[in-house]
Amino acid sequence: MAGGLAAGAVSFSWAAGDSLAADKLAEGEELLPFLDPQEINPEKPALAWEKLQDWVTPPGQFFDVSHYGRPTIDAAAWRLEFAGLVEKNCSFTLDELKARPKREFIATLECSGNGASAKFMGAIGNARWIGTPLGPLLKECGIKPGGREVVFWGADEGKEKIRDQEYSQNFARSLSLDNAMRDDVILAYAMNDEPLSTGHGFPLRLIVPGWYGIAWVKWLARVEVRDRRFMNRFMARDYVTIRGEEKNGKTVWRETSVGPMNVKSIVARVVRRKDGTLGVSGAAWSDGRVDTVELKIDDGPWTKVRLNRDKDKIAPHAWTFWSYDWKGATPGEHRLVCRATDAKGRVQPAKDDPQIALKKTYWEANEQVVRRVKV
């Protein structure tokens, strides 16, 4: 990804027939509530799909997650350290990082457990991230021969019980050196033109476009180059997806650490217009470009929907909004389900698809979601 979009947070309202804004209904329009509504915890920020109105998610609806609480950091005393298999240990203040070449882009951040149930459907948001690329900093410190893994340590700290012993640990995740050197992996100090809030990792967080949020380490304090795979709770014991695959009459089980995002989509809302047509709309995303989205109503065929390809609402790792005009809907209850296909040819699976039928953990949930509505 080569760089920024237009400055400022981007918002929009769609033309009639494409509106996603529950709070901005056109005259005579009526929002049809789902019979299986999203459950929202009023004490935690989350995206309310039926109220989706901005391509860039407003702060009050943008989720945040912490595992060891939120550390209080003095930005004036804070330093980011580079250590491990580097030619020289480096340390940077926040001002020094802000003075370096700037990179900004819009990318979707999703919790890897998002969509696992109706109680957890809004842990996703789209934001404009501003920071400096990680790769040049690693090159400046110098990578010693054998360096192949980069570990990112947060300032948040907790205790973990491992083999009957208790250890103090900081939150940490790692990337391969190749992934860490991607030109779109940045150290971000701002979100939508504002300094990061405490909940989003002030003063600095890692941005890994196309990866689930667990990889976007917050309250970043240390970057360490290693010669072997890093394993901790968040790489090897937790945030691990267990899948079964049938082979020659036997189930083969595999465990994989949560990483790149899966292809996914959702029906966000249904609106009745003055002429009786129903406007169905939603969003789709992946770890790259979404090529198509299809909608199925009841037992009907899969039908391609319109994708919003306005140039100011396209980014390689941002979600895509879609819409469909539903004409001739009969009174009564109906089932709507959508599926997305991305540039890699991956199709969002149904619940009984072999690739997820034997998935035993809720991480990386991306099955097709059925929404019920009464016309």
Q: Does residue 211 sit in the same domain as residue 133?
A: yes
Query: In Å, how far are 163, 168, 244, 249 from 122, measured between CA atoms?
Result: 35, 31, 27, 38
- Token digits of residue 168: 């103090």
In a domain, 243, yes or no: no
In a domain, 358, yes or no: yes
Asked if residue 30 is part of any domain, the answer here is yes
Is residue 115 domain-resident?
yes
User: Maximum Cα–Cα distance for the chain, whole Å?
Assistant: 70
- Here the CATH number for the domain that contains residue 139 is 3.90.420.10
pLDDT band at 6 (very low <50, low <70, confident <90, very high): very low
- At residue 237 the predicted structure's pLDDT band, cuts being 50, 70 and 90, is very high
* Contact indicator for 216, 207 with CB cutoff of 8 Å: yes
pLDDT bucket at 310, cuts 50 / 70 / 90? confident
Does 44 share its domain with 110? no
> Do 74 and 214 fall into the same domain?
yes
In this structure, the answer to whether residues 94 and 219 fall within a common structural domain is: yes
Q: Per residue in 316-352, pLDDT tens?
A: 999 999 999 999 999 999 999 999 999 999 999 999 9
Query: Based on the structure, what is the number of domains in the chain?
Result: 2
Query: Is 252 contained in some domain?
Result: no
Same domain (yes/no): 148, 217 = yes
Q: Is the pLDDT of residue 84 over 60?
A: yes
Residue 299 lies in a domain: yes
Residues 47 and 72 in one domain: no
Same-domain check for residues 29 and 88: no
Q: Do 187 and 66 have their domain in common?
A: yes
Percent share of the chain, pLDDT over 70: 94
Tell me the average pLDDT across 355-374.
Answer: 94
Q: What is residue 272's predicted lDDT score, i.e. its pLDDT?
A: 96
Q: Which of 231, 248, 280 is the last residue of a domain?
A: 231
Same domain membership, residue 217 and residue 309: no
Residues 214 and 75 in one domain: yes
Question: Is there a contact between 260 and 295 (Cβ–Cβ < 8 Å)?
Answer: no
> What CATH number does the domain containing 356 carry?
2.60.40.650
Question: Domain limits at 277?
Answer: 22-53+258-374
Residue 17 lies in a domain: no
Q: pLDDT at position 18, please?
A: 39
Same domain, 155 and 195: yes
> Do 108 and 207 belong together in one domain?
yes
- The mean per-residue pLDDT over the stretch 83-93 comes to 97
Asked whether residue 253 is domain-assigned, the answer is no
Give residue 102's pLDDT band: very low, low, confident or very high (50, 70, 90): very high
Q: Is the pLDDT of residue 10 over 80?
A: no
CA distance 22 to 40: 16
Rounded average pLDDT over 58-77:
93
Among 231, 250, 272, give the residue marking a domain's end: 231
- What Å distances lie between residue 135 and 98, 105, 141, 373, CA to CA? 15, 16, 10, 48
Among candidate residues 231, 266, 288, the one where a domain is terminated? 231
